Amino acid sequence: MPNFSILKSPATGTAITRKGGRLVVPDNPIIPYIEGDGTGPDIWRASVRVFDAAVDKAFGGKKTIAWFEVPAGEKAKEQHGEWLPNDTLEAVRADKVAIKGPLTTPVGGGIRSLNVTLRQVAGIEWARGTPQAERVIEFLASEMGKRIRPDSGIGIKPMSEFGSKRLMRMAVQYAVDNKRKTVTLVHKGNIMKFTEGAFRDWGYELAKAEFRDKIVTEDEVTAGASREGKILVNDRIADSVFQQILTRTADYDVFATPNLNGDYLSDAAAAQVGGLGMAPGANIGDDIGFFEATHGTAPKYAGKDVINPGSVILSGVMMFRYLGWGEAADLVETGLEKTIAQKKVTYDLARQMEGATELKTSQFADAVIGNM
């Protein structure tokens, strides 16, 4: 039980734990959530109704979620004087699974992105003219014989065998668990051989070492091996994959890729299914699963009850699957699919469909629940 200074643990609910690396999910897990800024509250109000309805319908009252609001972003700054109180990080660490709405990134305020902090990903960068940048430039010139213009900003791109293999292990395991057909390593290894190229090589190594009976590589298939019952592991250069997902969409399934490629690719792929309002996200590490929409706060629509809650709702589907609550995940997916098939959609999808009925955020949630 964390020692909070501003938060109070919920009166009901039990923390999720880990035993021997596996998640142990009680019937009434505490799940911390961050409502988010801008359109976050509209989206959360709609999404949480969908989640609760799905759990109720799937498990007939045997399971319930003890939602635990934890502060971050503008609301936290207003109420607690801090953008990201330490208690929030403590709650997420203690409860192992959390879900968040979008958070504003204050521009130029000297504070690190809350989203990045919450995902615990740290970029290594120094601004032009700082002593650190000058020192690296001087080191590269004197020790490594590499000349860099003195007015350069510096970023370091480390790529480790440990991190690459961990990512690939998660990707292949995800494909196994979710009965996917292909895992594609996406990289820029033709140019960045010792980072992105090494990522590709380590990815293949891991797949062959740890999933030998479940996978077959593209080279092996070319040499005559059968794909039958196996997950195909292949690789593509990042630029080519952007046209491949448009021209040969059905050939791809799971991508394993470093952060920046994935950032671009996920928004491009979201456009193929209607836009950012339909693109869920998950940050899954060895200990914690942290689920979030891929879009931002879309501030011009804040408080208007019009924004598409689909991304957060689908992030919840990923969360349910992570918890092992597939029955609830299936119900939400069915509800969403039927609602969209009936052309009952929010403004963003309505403008791309003929004969659509445009619904408010809250009405869309009602329709999804009705269609479960």
Using CB under 6 A as the criterion, which residues of the chain lie in contact with ligand NAP when the complex forms? 102-105, 115, 275-277, 292, 295-299, 307-308, 311, 348
First CA to last CA distance, the chain: 36
Q: Measured from the CB of residue 47, what is the shortest distance to ligand NAP in angstroms?
A: 11
Nearest to 282 by CA among 307, 252, 262, 302: 262
Q: Measured from the CB of residue 301, what is the shortest distance to ligand NAP in angstroms?
A: 7
* 276 versus 329: smaller Cβ distance to ligand NAP: 276
> Tokens for 322?
């992570």
Q: Measured from the CB of residue 8, what is the shortest distance to ligand NAP in angstroms?
A: 26
Q: Return the amino acid letter for 215.
A: I
* C-alpha–C-alpha distance, residues 253 and 183, integer Å: 6
* C-alpha–C-alpha distance, residues 294 and 253, integer Å: 18
> Tokens for 220?
């092996």
* 233 versus 314: smaller Cβ distance to ligand NAP: 314
Count CB atoms within 10 A of the CB of residue 5: 10
Residue whose beta carbon is closest to ligand NAP: 296
Q: Measured from the CB of residue 12, what is the shortest distance to ligand NAP in angstroms?
A: 29
Q: Measured from the CB of residue 120, what is the shortest distance to ligand NAP in angstroms?
A: 14
Nearest to 318 by CA among 337, 354, 297, 292: 292
Phi and psi torsions of 121, nearest 5°: -105, 125
Specify the 3-state DSSP secondary structure of 117.
helix
Q: Return the amino acid letter for 291.
A: F
* 46 versus 54: smaller Cβ distance to ligand NAP: 46
Residues making up the chain, counted from first to last: 372
* 103 versus 133: smaller Cβ distance to ligand NAP: 103
* 119 versus 230: smaller Cβ distance to ligand NAP: 119
Q: Measured from the CB of residue 359, what is the shortest distance to ligand NAP in angstroms?
A: 12
* 140 versus 302: smaller Cβ distance to ligand NAP: 302
